[in-house]
Structure 1
Amino acid sequence: MIRTGEQYRESLRDDRAVWINGDRVKDVTRHPSFKPIVDARARIYDMAHDSRLAPVMTYTDEETRETNCIGYKLPFTQEDWQAKRRAVDTVMKDLGGVVVRVGDETIGEMWSLYDGQDVLREVDPRFADNIRNHIWKALRSDTFHVSANTDPKGDRSKRPQEQDPDMLLHVVKETDAGIVVRGAKYETAAAYANQAFVKPTIANWGDDKLSDYAVGFICEMNRPGLKHICRTGFAGRAPARDYPLANKFDEVDTLLIFDNVLIPWENVLFYRHTRAASFIRGTLHRYSAFPFVLRLLYVADMMIGAALFNVRQTGLDQQQAVREKLALLACYRETINAHMTAAIAMAEKSPAGLLMPNQSLLYTGRVHACSKLPEMMHIARELCGGQICVTPDSATFDHPETKAWMDKFYNVNEYWVAEDRRKLLAFARDLLNSDYAGHRVTFELFAQSPPFAHLNAVYMNFGWNGPLEFVRKAADLSDRVMEQGKKKPA
């Protein structure tokens, strides 16, 4: 059943071991670094109970007749995907900003493993049962599910066994109760989530057929021995009036330390199975990339809105050079929109019978959205002008000895008074220029995988045979040349 925001908050008061800024956190729901983003996630839970929003945020399960979260619903039809998109649109507009890690963009990684049940059965039939059970458990318990992925890595010129073995998460022993793991993982939102799907990042296993590093499992975020070491947050560094985004939407990243953590067998999804590990690395984002890239559509909307308000207040939108830059932002936004729309319109059946977005269109859309983001942010900076980096803080606009000067020089016309202009410039600064803005650029480039992996996903999913066959006919080549061309890339 769907949870309320307060039920979510209460689920986090479970004695989890969280540190930030050198201090142990007693309650993440009240700590100033976590409270804003916890409140945002709690609001999403409460939206499912709002009579106006519930029809968009939830659906009724045909089997159980229970009300469930639309984001966690397994996709079987195009309408399922359209419903998910409507829910994301509703959330972003209600919150007034962009939040990436809220669960709907990470549950899809579980669906990818659901597609690989035959691979899991090669080692142990229980693993296929476990993935099905956990997908339904997450759906019906409405848990906040995230995904632990990147390791500290260590010296990548060496094999894990040739250095400190804890640089990559690994199994240290088996027990009747489950496996015991050591190592570390990075995960955004772990400190205020309920559970994580933990899996390896190694892409090339070589001849390591039964590696102790080839392990994937579900881990509750309060397991004994699990420690959350968080980066310094952006919330609370400066007044919210001056940094409205950083103070509401900072998603705190965590180094998860697994210090001999016991993982029950029912939570193990694969173990000592390099083919399963390779499969999940190759298919990990076949679903989750959709909501991840969709978030960038709203980042584009924020850039367009901030830039357009800035140029219109002074009449610069009448200049051709300004219109060209605004058009570039619009092209960026609409190209993301086109990829997302087409990926669902041309969706494909998955091995397990789910409906997955067209993989070529989805991954090419991700490359466009992520790789062009820095360029688009720079265009938005140009349009907003230099005042986003030189405008005084809100206290200066309020102080009786300086307020008159601020009003004089920041009033533009009868439509744009000083306070509105200050708010717009503060918003644009936080979106484009602040520490938080720089963090977001790096996050978007690497949050799912690094740029080279984005391009490799395109290579592995693009329909190469179409262009090959077109050229074979146009060049009058023999049929035999296609034999090599039709080989699937390794």
Structure 2
Amino acid sequence: MIRTGDEYRDSIRQGREIWMDGERVDDVTVHPAFKPIVDLRARIYDMAHEEATQDVMSYVDPETGDRNCIANKLPFTRQDWQDKRQAVDRVLDEARGVITRVGDETIGEMWSLYDGQDVLNEVNPDFSENIRRHIRRAVTDDPFHISANTDPKGDRSKRPQDQDPDMLLHVVRETDNGIVVRGAKYETAAPYANQAFTKPTIANWGDSALSDYAVGFVMDMNSPGLRYICRTGFAGRRPAVDYPLANRVDEVEALVIFDDVEVPWENILFYRHTAAATFIRSTLHRYSAFPYVQRSVRMADLMIGAALWNVRQTGLERNPAVQEKLAQLACYREGINAHLTAAIANAEDSPGGLLMPNQSLLYAGRVWAQTQLPQMMHHARELCGGQICITPDAASFAEPGPGEWLDKYYSINDDWNSDDRRSLLAFARDLLNSDYAGHRLTFQLFAQAPPFAHYQAVYRNFDFDGPLDLVKKAAELSDNVLGSGAAR
């Protein structure tokens, strides 16, 4: 059943070996770099118990009578997707920012394997049962589920076998209980998650049908042999009053070291079979792309709000050039929203009997959201003006001497005093211009895959037959014209 926030906190206090800034982290629930995001994840659990948000965040299973998490529910209807979308929006409202790795976006990767049970059965029918069991467990036990994907990779011009083999996670031996793996993965939220769907990265496995690098499993994050080496967190480095987003919604990435970690057979979803590894790579974002792209709508809303408040308080809202920039931001936002709405309206049956968002529309929406993001951030910067990079910190505003001068020059009128103006500029700086803002922009290349992979997904899922047939008829081509190969 749905856990409480305190139960979640207890589940990650298991003596993990976590490192940040060269120091061992004893308890992520109280460490200043982790506490804000852990508290927010705990808050999501508690929202499922509170009367005001319970029905948005959870549902009652008609067979068991238990209350389960909306995010983990298998999608069979359009209403299921509408419910998931509403739940994500409510979480982002609570966060007052954008958070990406909270579970709803990674459970969809497991659903892709659910669709691929025929592929798994070619290897071992036990693997197919394993995926069904883990999906049931995700629904009933409500773990904080994340994804382990990217390896250090090493020299990418070489096969993993032709260099240090640990550059990609691989199986080193079998035991009676399971397999032993060695290597490393970059994972967002790993130090404070419960489990991770660990899978192979994009790699050159060669032409062999079997490979020790083609392995996928569910990893208990409390397992012996795991070590977490984290990047420096943004939370706690600077005052929250000056950097509100960095201190509220920073999600910490870690290089997770697998130092001969044993994975039980019941947690293995595929093993050595390169066809299964290729399948999961090609369908990985079939479902999970939806909540990722949905978060881009919220990012657009934050940019529009920050920019519009800035031009309003300086009296520039009626300027045609300003309105043009605001309209461009609005078109960006509505373009993402339209793709998501249409992807649900035109949802498709999946091979496993689920309902998946229309794949062509979803992937095209992802391309629109990600390729336009840098330019949209710059439009928002232009509208906010240069003061987001030169405004002093809150301590200077509070100090009697400099504070008097800052109050004079940052107060605009009776509606906009210096404190509100400083708060708005500080928020815009953290959204668009800070170390945290730069990290969030680059993070898209890690969290949602690089642009070429986005375009490849569109290429594989767009129906090229329609345009081909249209031109064949319009140009009066003969039936002998077949082309050099199938577009899909």
- TM-score, normalised on structure 1? 0.98
What residue in structure 2 maps to residue 221 of structure 1? Answer: 221
Query: What residue number does 1:114 align with?
Result: 114
| Percent of pairs with identical residues | 70
1:210 and 2:184 correspond = no
Deviation by residue 1:224-275 (Cα, 9 ceiling, x = unmatched): 1011110000011110000000001100001010000000000000001000
Q: Distance in 2 between matches of 1:364 and 1:180?
A: 39
Return the alpha-carbon distance in structure 1 between the equivalents of residues 318 and 27 of structure 2. Answer: 52
In structure 2, C-alpha distance between the alignment counterparts of 1:120 and 1:419, rounded to whole Å: 60
Amino acid at match of 2:220: E
Distance (Å, rounded) in 2 between the aligned partners of 1:15 and 1:429? 37
Secondary structure of the structure 1 residue equivalent to 2:400: coil
Distance 2:476 2:78 in 1: 40
Matched, 1:162 2:181: no
Q: Are the equivalent residues in 1 in contact too, given 2:95–2:248 (CA < 8 A)? A: no
The separation in 1 between residues aligned to 2:144 and 2:93, in whole angstroms, is 21
| Superposition deviation, residue 481 in structure 1 | 2.0
Deviation track 1:81-123 (CA, whole Å, cap 9, x = no partner) reads: 0000111111111221111000000000000000000000001
Q: Please give the root-mean-square deviation of Cα atoms over the aligned residues, in Å.
A: 0.9
Partner of 2:442: 442
Q: How many Å apart are 1:203 and its aligned residue?
A: 4.8
Matches within 5 A, 1:80-479: 80-479=80-479
Paired residue type of 1:165: P
Are the aligned partners of 2:4 and 2:49 in contact in 1 as well (CA < 8 Å)?
A: yes
Counterpart contact for 2:159–2:205, Cα < 8 Å: no
CA contact (8 A) 1:37 1:249 kept: yes
2:205, 2:213 within 8 Å by CA — same for their partners in 1?
Answer: no
Distance in 1 between residues matched to 2:456 and 2:447, nearest whole Å: 16
Hey, what does 1:75 align to over in structure 2? Answer: 75
Give the aligned residue type for 2:53. Answer: L
Deviations 1:165-186 (CA, angstroms, capped at 9, x unpaired): 0000000001110000000000
Letter in 2 for 1:172: V
SS for the counterpart of 1:218 is: strand
Please give the alpha-carbon distance, in whole angstroms, between the structure 1 residues aligned to 2:446 and 2:469: 35
Contact 1:151 1:184 survives alignment (8 Å) = yes
Q: Which amino acid aligns with 1:213?
A: Y
Partner of 1:33: 33
Letter matched to residue 435 of structure 1: D
**d(CA) in 1 for partners of 2:229, 2:445:** 22
**Which residue in the other structure is 2:24 paired with?**
24
Measure, in 2, the Cα distance between the counterparts of 1:288 and 1:383.
Answer: 33
In the alignment, the residues of structure 2 paired with residue 24 and residue 221 of structure 1 have an alpha-carbon distance, to the nearest angstrom, of 17
Q: CA deviation at 1:139?
A: 1.1
Question: What secondary structure is seen at the aligned counterpart in 2 of 1:223?
Answer: coil
Partner of 2:47: 47
Please state whether the residue corresponding to 2:74 is helix, strand or coil: coil
Provide the secondary structure at the position in 2 that maps to 1:215: strand
- C-alpha separation between the residues in 2 aligned to 1:396 and 1:371? 38
Q: Name the SS of the counterpart of 1:272 in structure 2.
A: strand
Q: Quick check: 2:95–2:249 contact (8 Å CA) kept in 1? A: no
Give the counterpart letter for 1:64 in structure 2: T
Equivalent-residue separation in structure 2 for 1:76 and 1:488 (angstroms) = 29
Counterpart AA for 2:68: N
Deviations 1:294-336 (A, max 9, x none): 0010000000000000001111111100000000000000000
State the Cα distance separating 1:404 from its structure 2 match: 1.0
Paired residues in the alignment total: 488
SS of match in other structure, 2:65: coil
CA displacement at 1:488 relative to structure 2: 5.5
Out of 398-407 and 165-174, give the one that drifted further.
398-407
Q: Distance in 1 between matches of 2:271 and 2:45?
A: 34
- In the aligned structure 1, how far is the partner of 2:292 from the partner of 2:240? 26
CA contact (8 A) 2:169 2:200 kept: yes
Code of the residue aligned with 1:7 in structure 2: it is E
SS of equivalent residue, structure 1 residue 317? coil
Q: Aligned partners of 2:444, 2:231: CA distance in 1, in Å? A: 17
**What's the secondary structure of 1:33's corresponding residue?**
coil
User: CA separation in 1, counterparts of 2:433 and 2:483?
Assistant: 52
Secondary structure at the aligned position of 1:7 is classed as helix
1:479 is displaced (CA, Å) by 2.2
Which letter maps to 1:475? A
In the alignment, the residues of structure 1 paired with residue 467 and residue 285 of structure 2 have an alpha-carbon distance, to the nearest angstrom, of: 25
State how far apart, in whole Å, the 1-side matches of 2:72 and 2:483 are.
42
Counterpart contact for 1:178–1:265, Cα < 8 Å: yes
1:204 CA drift (Å): 4.5
Corresponding residue for residue 59 of structure 2 = 59
1:346 and 1:203 mapped to 2: Cα distance?
A: 33
* Contact 1:468–1:482, Cα closer than 8 Å, also in 2: no
Structure 2: gaps spanning 5 or more residues: none
Distance 2:206 2:479 in 1: 35
Aligned partners of 1:359, 1:205: CA distance in 2, in Å? 27
SS at match of 1:401: helix
Q: Residue 206 of structure 1: CA displacement?
A: 2.9
Matching residue's letter, 2:134: H
Q: CA deviation at 1:205?
A: 3.1
Shift of 1:482: 4.0
Q: CA deviation at 1:202?
A: 2.7
C-alpha displacement of 1:484: 5.4
Question: Cα deviation per residue 1:410-468 (whole Å; 9 max; x = unaligned)?
Answer: 00111111000000000000000000000000112331211110111111111111100
Q: Partners of 2:256 and 2:203 in 1: how far apart?
A: 21
Q: Distance in 2 between matches of 1:480 and 1:460?
A: 25
Amino acid in the other structure paired with 2:454: H
Instruction: For residue 212 of structure 1, give the secondary structure of its aligned residue in structure 2.
Output: strand
Paired residue secondary structure (1:224): coil
